[in-house]
Structure 1
Amino acid sequence: MTSDSSLLEVQRVTYAMQGRTLLAPVSLQLNAGDFLLLTGPSGSGKSTLLKILASLLAPTAGQIRFKNRDIATIKAELYRQQVSYCFQTPQLFGETVYDNLALPWQIRQQKPPREALMASLESVHLDAEMLDKPVEQLSGGEKQRVGLLRNLQFLPKVLLLDEVTSALDEENKTLVQQLIQQRVQEQQLAVVWISHDPDEIQHAEKVLRLTAPERGESHESA
């Protein structure tokens, strides 16, 4: 049964391409404030599921509802402001870090506050002066943090994270985890986070484990 805090409902969603099943049937309900870790072996469809939830792919079968509305009936640009997907390897735009952090403001026809953008960089241990740094000069870990900050300029209702700490050292990985957990607790942000980290999985309150399609369906455990 749907609760008042329900954001996303996924009902037996599958995905196939050229006759090959890439995602076995998945069902889940995501509520405000949920932090769900998504795990499973390579080929089980973790990234495929996130792209479907982000409306970047259309499921072969099944239905996804956002706030009790079929997402197929919601304009993509409006839906993606509420359900935001952060890639493992961020697709950075323009020439500089500023171009990327300013983009969410510009889409909303608002002036990007330069000091706030610099403060956001410092919140993930990046130098504020990096704001004008060319994106081609960023390391993999710096790109991951800039990509995440771009998604957090305006908080969505649901944040989809595809191994966004994979290029970070342990200190910065912990920093990003704490930042996301803070948003979950303070803003009732709902998060789906792909992870292979045994420690993260062990301590997660909600875990969805996917299995390879030929081995059966996914199941959820707490």
Structure 2
Amino acid sequence: MQILNIKGIFYEVDNNKILNNINIDVEGGDCISIVGSSGCGKSTLLKICADLISISKGDIYYRGKNYKECNPLDLRRNISYCIQSPHLFGEQVFENLEFPFKIRKESTNKNRISALLERFNLDKGILDKDIHSLSGGEKQRIAIARNLMYIPDILLLDESTSALDTVNAQVVEEYIKDINKEGVTVIWVTHSLEQSEGIFNKRITISNGSIEKVEGIR
């Protein structure tokens, strides 16, 4: 079943065409990597899928319903977007990990927090740390954990392991692989050709704002 349909998407800024007639049909359970040179439009495409910026022309559908007819809050709960440069807020790490529960007006699930910290190779003591004392890799893993406190329908990842060493990048990849097997649809922008072949069933190459090719990997 198709979960996301991108139909004739154009995105322009000051007459500069960033995306040019993008068409993608995403099946539920797909694990798609998006590759291409810097500035080709990869991150812009993810932001459009996350309903963070408005398209200049075209349509995008979630489960057959046009984004224009969807409640933005519902979209952002079902389609989770991890940005490349993680932004943590407040003073302590715990504030970030309890946030998904607070905005849903639900009790903080400390067992879920502990489980994700362990899965992402982070000690529970990090919860009391000042966010400004964290390394780039710790911030990145905390940001991913924050996005995954509630498992989304679609997970959008923008270079989300770029600050991680090989071991921790693999830890994150394995978790993403596991939730994909459970049905989560994944769209992952990566600069790494090796990563783009690792856990994915499709790879989309973007060049100068257009789709250059779509490949089945497995």
TM-score, normalization by structure 1 = 0.93
CA distance in 1, matches of 2:150, 2:201: 26
Give a deviation string over 1:21-75, Cα, whole Å, max 9, x none: 1112211111221100000111210000000000001111110000100011111
Contact 1:97–1:132 (8 Å) recurs in 2: yes
After the TM superposition, which of the residue ranges 171-180 and 26-35 deviates more from structure 2? 26-35
Tell me, in whole angstroms, the C-alpha distance in 1 between the residues paired with 2:119 and 2:197: 27
Whether the aligned pair in 2 keeps the contact of 1:26 and 1:218 (CA below 8 Å) is no
Matched, 1:67 2:63: yes
Cα deviation, 1:155-198, whole Å, max 9, x if unaligned, reads 11000000000000000011100000000002x00000011212
Match of 1:202 in 2: 197
Asked whether the equivalents of residues 24 and 218 of structure 1 are also in contact (C-alpha less than 8 Å), the reply is no
Aligned equivalents of 2:57, 2:95: Cα separation in 1: 38
2:103 aligned with 1:107, yes or no?
A: yes
One-letter amino acid of the counterpart of residue 77, structure 1: L
Residue 217 of structure 1 and its aligned partner are, at CA, apart by 4.4
Q: Which amino acid aligns with 1:75?
A: N
Tell me which residue corresponds to 2:12: 16
Alignment of 1:83-162 (within 5 A): 83-162=79-158
* 2:28 aligned residue: 32
In 1: Cα distance, 2:115 partner to 2:150 partner: 15
Answer whether contact 1:14 1:61 (CA < 8 A) is retained: yes
1:39 touches 1:196 (CA, 8 Å); kept in 2? yes
Secondary structure at 2:17 match in 1: strand
Q: What is the identity, as a one-letter code, of the residue corresponding to 2:191?
A: H
For 1:25 and 1:91, the matched residues in 2 are separated by 31
Matched letter for residue 186 of structure 2: V
Paired residue for 2:43, among 24, 35, 47?
47
CA distance in 2 between partners of 1:126 and 1:201 (Å): 25
Please state whether the residue corresponding to 1:121 is helix, strand or coil.
Answer: helix
How many Å separate the matches in 2 of 1:159 and 1:115?
Answer: 22
Q: Tell me, what secondary structure is at the counterpart of 1:109?
A: coil
Residue 219 (structure 1) aligned with residue 213 (structure 2): yes
- Tell me how far apart the structure 2 counterparts of residues 70 and 114 of structure 1 sit (CA, whole Å): 36
Query: Is the contact made by 2:8 and 2:21 (CA closer than 8 Å) also made in structure 1?
Result: yes
1:58 corresponds to which residue? 54
Q: Is contact 1:11-1:28 (8 Å) kept?
A: yes
Match of 2:174 among 163, 174, 178: 178
Q: Structure 2 unaligned runs (5+)?
A: none
Identity of aligned residues (%): 34
Deviation at 1:201, TM superposition (A): 2.4
Give 1:150 shift: 0.6
* Displacement after TM superposition at 1:115 (Å): 3.5
For residues 182 and 143 of structure 1, the distance between their equivalents in structure 2, rounded to whole angstroms, comes to 22
Give the TM-score normalised by the residue count of structure 2: 0.95
Distance in 1 between residues matched to 2:65 and 2:174, nearest whole Å: 32
**RMSD over aligned Cα, in angstroms?**
1.2
Distance in structure 1 (CA, Å) of the matches to 2:207 and 2:69:
30
DSSP-derived class of the 1:210 partner: strand
